[in-house]
Structure 1
């Protein structure tokens, strides 16, 4: 399909005798939110690590816009427009909110990078725009450690927005958010997809998956068992039984 940005075919990796990801085929389409669902240990985060180059696939192919990205280093893949968040957020807690976003714009965030004042102004414009979108503009000079839990989640998203990446890999981005913050967070993701951003997220909250995902890929023990619209996946009694650990 012409709107497929990232394609995975037969992707596998093993750790010793454990097959963590087994022959996974999946496409991430432009402007679509795909949720990775499945019990703990299903291989969801490992799949993210394979896409971003943090782990080398033992077999299979991963292509971005038809070009293989296997063997590339994480910073090279990030530079091609794939941004990622982590469960632990990985913020610089004693730096300001603004600087946390600024350092995410690698490799052009450092003051000694070429481009002069015009490039520096453009970087700051992107940072300010990301903070405005996430409701953090008034906290730009606050330290990350002084933010509330929900605000740190939005700061993590602001870092991704500022990169201008077209593919976002989000690891439980809405976990622990109150209802109002979650609604605002989901709205931000939907706004991004309307601009053509492709999102793949790991999520354990079935309500969030139903609300945000266009498609759900269900994994168990490293295998993709199903991929379809949320209504079909989440109504499959066998998959739900696996999800809640009743038939493993």
Structure 2
């Protein structure tokens, strides 16, 4: 972050303990408006737990989270979403017996404002948000299908649609392309780039390095709850600690080739 710039999201020394285990151990991250920040690392590194703390799924043991200079530490997931942070999950999170449209209606209705006494009318604003989200991810023609019938790609698109229907300022994506084939990964990549092009800030976790490095303007690697690397995507494969703890020599060589080919493109 450049001196003098103000972060949209500022996570300072976040700690999350489960008994004696520090799943997140002093993690700090500042995110600027319009960035795509990628987080990688081995299984069990604490990436998803870090997401859970920032988005209010689980309370932090220590540290502070600020959204646009407002302390959101200790707030619940519903309130944090209403303030502008939406997320997806590794596993498919949806109401299986409801339709695609009904799932997104729920996200749009509850995700943008407090509903002390929920009503029975969704309102035109919610309907518009739902239809826009459906069209954006390409699920408009499946809006009336039951979620239980959807394949893996469509379930991931549904989570993205539900998140963006809340009209967030920051979108957290937890392994958005896990289990997808190359063409499906490219499709999700295009969606993320379009969202970012429209001004949405994105923080993502991913093991698929092609996706992580091609999208991110800045990359963090976590290990044992700590940040062991932060830098540009093309620097990841040059860091000896990252190579030893996460990538391995084979992946390092493939990434070197990946960036070399990218630089050769006209």
Could you tell me how far apart the structure 1 residues matched to 2:153 and 2:59 are? 33
| Segment drifting more, 223-232 vs 237-246 | 237-246
1:105 matched to 2:96:
no
What is residue 140 of structure 1 aligned with on the other side?
143
What does the per-residue CA deviation read over 1:9-65, in whole Å, with 9 as the maximum and x for residues that have no partner?
111122221121111121122111111111111110110111012222222211110
1:188 matched to 2:191:
yes
Task: Determine which of 150, 165, 183 is the counterpart of 2:153.
Answer: 150
1:162 matched to 2:158:
no
Could you tell me how far apart the structure 1 residues matched to 2:248 and 2:225 are? 15
> Structure 1: which 5+ residue stretches go unaligned?
none
Could you tell me how far apart the structure 2 residues matched to 1:105 and 1:204 are? 29
Q: How many residues align?
A: 243
**CA RMSD of the aligned region, Å?**
2.1
Q: Secondary structure at the match of 1:104?
A: helix
Could you tell me how far apart the structure 1 residues matched to 2:248 and 2:53 are? 26
What is residue 212 of structure 2 aligned with on the other side?
209
1:123 matched to 2:155:
no
Q: Secondary structure at the match of 1:163?
A: coil
**Which structure carries more relative contact order (alpha carbon 8 Å, separation 6+)?**
1
- TM-score, normalising length: structure 1: 0.91
Q: Secondary structure at the match of 1:46?
A: helix
Report deviation, 1:3.
5.0
> Structure 2: which 5+ residue stretches go unaligned?
250-266
Aligned partners of 2:35 and 2:202 also within 8 Å: yes
Aligned partners of 1:98 and 1:141 also within 8 Å: yes
Could you tell me how far apart the structure 2 residues matched to 1:179 and 1:3 are? 37
What is residue 11 of structure 1 aligned with on the other side?
14
Structure-2 change in CA distance of 1:132 and 1:204 (3 Å): same
What is residue 71 of structure 1 aligned with on the other side?
74
What is residue 88 of structure 1 aligned with on the other side?
91
Report deviation, 1:223.
0.8
Task: Please give the residue correspondences for 1:32-51 in structure 2 after superposition, counting only pairs within 5 Å.
Answer: 32-51=35-54
Which protein is richer in helix relative to its size? 2
| Segment drifting more, 2-11 vs 212-221 | 2-11
Report deviation, 1:244.
4.5
Aligned partners of 2:85 and 2:170 also within 8 Å: yes
